[in-house]
Amino acid sequence: MKPILPRCIIIAILITGLFTTSTMAQQNTWANQDTSPNFPNMAPHPPVKHPSANRNVSTPVPNNAFVSMPPMQFPYLPQTCKSTSSEPSAYVGYLYKDHGAGMQLQFNGPVTAGQTTYTRNDFDLQGIWLELALPVAIDQNMGLVVTGAHLFSLQPGSIQSYSLANTASAARKWNPDVQWWEVNGAGSYQFFPSVSGIVGFRWTNFVVNLTNSIDLQGFVSPSTDAATLTTNTYIPYSGILIENKPDCRSTIKLAAYGSPILPADFEYNETVSLTGQPRTAFSTKANMGTGYFAEGFSEYSLKRDSWSMGGFVRFTLVHAERSIGAVVGGVNTPIDITFERRNWIFGGKIGYAF
């Protein structure tokens, strides 16, 4: 999988957000200039006193020729929208695949006729994403956020293909049961107006149980085979957050962050019953550290009293790989492992500030 496309998407989102933020700020300034200001507290001009008809009456002339006017009071003053309050929030959205999740194994050892030399499984991820967030502003420039999330899978399909030595390839479809849990913690510090740095850590548990294979090509039918994939990723990341408040009731957030390394635990077990071949089993377990993580995030919200509501979009890319020795049919075999996941989440947010 080529990582340049999703990285370009994240950069494009960031540039678009900067342009949108600048444009909205200019529109807000022009709107204030085009509207005639209202000065509710400005004192009226004093009435003009005409000289008396009696020329013998003298009018005192002040020594200072300038008339002192009361100071003008403008209704709009720069406002500070930052606060040190806590705003627990709930994010609910639809998670949609961008190539979903994929796992592939490349067997590099000596093979026999009919033995699997390569297999790939693609999960068509989709479902309802629920995330609870607790952001806390420590002071005017520093903040923390802790989140927990779960994917309620819509039971997507899964297609697995096999390359075999000296025989036709095989394939089948699975009915996967997907479990996805995630915990995240991050801190931010504002070093320029509206621009903050982010440092965080994320743990993701992704488990797929594969049963009830159908559309069998090259497999014994009916099949009692099964497979299980378990991954735990431990992602340290850093990036940048742009937050703009055109007024104290609306907020625009744009963020891009990632990591050039991806520590992860990987475990995959599968039984294979190919036509004319003895039943074999894969048993693969590895600690993976080579890979990368990238994510782009945008949010727009409006505040009314203590409540805030809005929408968000998130794109996530995870890629990990490792070369190890694994047991295949009772024989230790060198294997190249690759795990990847790309997905979008579109949804809404509701929060309440204390």
Closest CA to 305 of 85, 119, 3: 85
Q: How far is CA 279 from the centre of its chain?
A: 42
Least confident of 73-77, 153-157, 257-261: 73-77
Contact between 131 and 149 (Cβ < 8 Å): yes
Tell me the C-alpha distance between 202 and 6, whole Å.
20
**Stretch among 108-112, 194-198, 265-269, 347-351 having the lowest mean pLDDT:** 108-112
Exposure of 32 in the CB half-sphere (CA atoms within 13 A): 12
pLDDT greater than 70 at residue 78: no
Judge whether residue 303 has pLDDT over 80: yes
Share above pLDDT 90 across residues of the chain, in percent, rounded to a whole number: 45
Euclidean distance between CA atoms 87 and 310, whole angstroms:
14
Residue 157 or 46, more confident: 157
What pLDDT digit, counting tens, does each position of 128-152 carry? 999 999 999 888 899 999 999 999 9
Distances (CA, A) of 252 to 17, 194, 243, 300, 307: 9, 10, 6, 5, 16
Q: If DSSP codes are grouped into helix, strand and coil, which group holds residue 34?
A: helix
Q: Given this model, what pLDDT does residue 282 score?
A: 79
Tens-place pLDDT, residues 53-65: 444 444 454 454 4
pLDDT of 10 strictly over 80: no
- Mean pLDDT lowest for which of 159-163, 263-267, 324-328? 324-328
Beta strand 250-272 with 170-192 is: unpaired
- Domains parsed from the chain with CATH numbers: 4-24+99-346 (2.40.128.90)
Residue 168 or residue 1, greater confidence:
168
241 DSSP β-pair partners: 196, 255
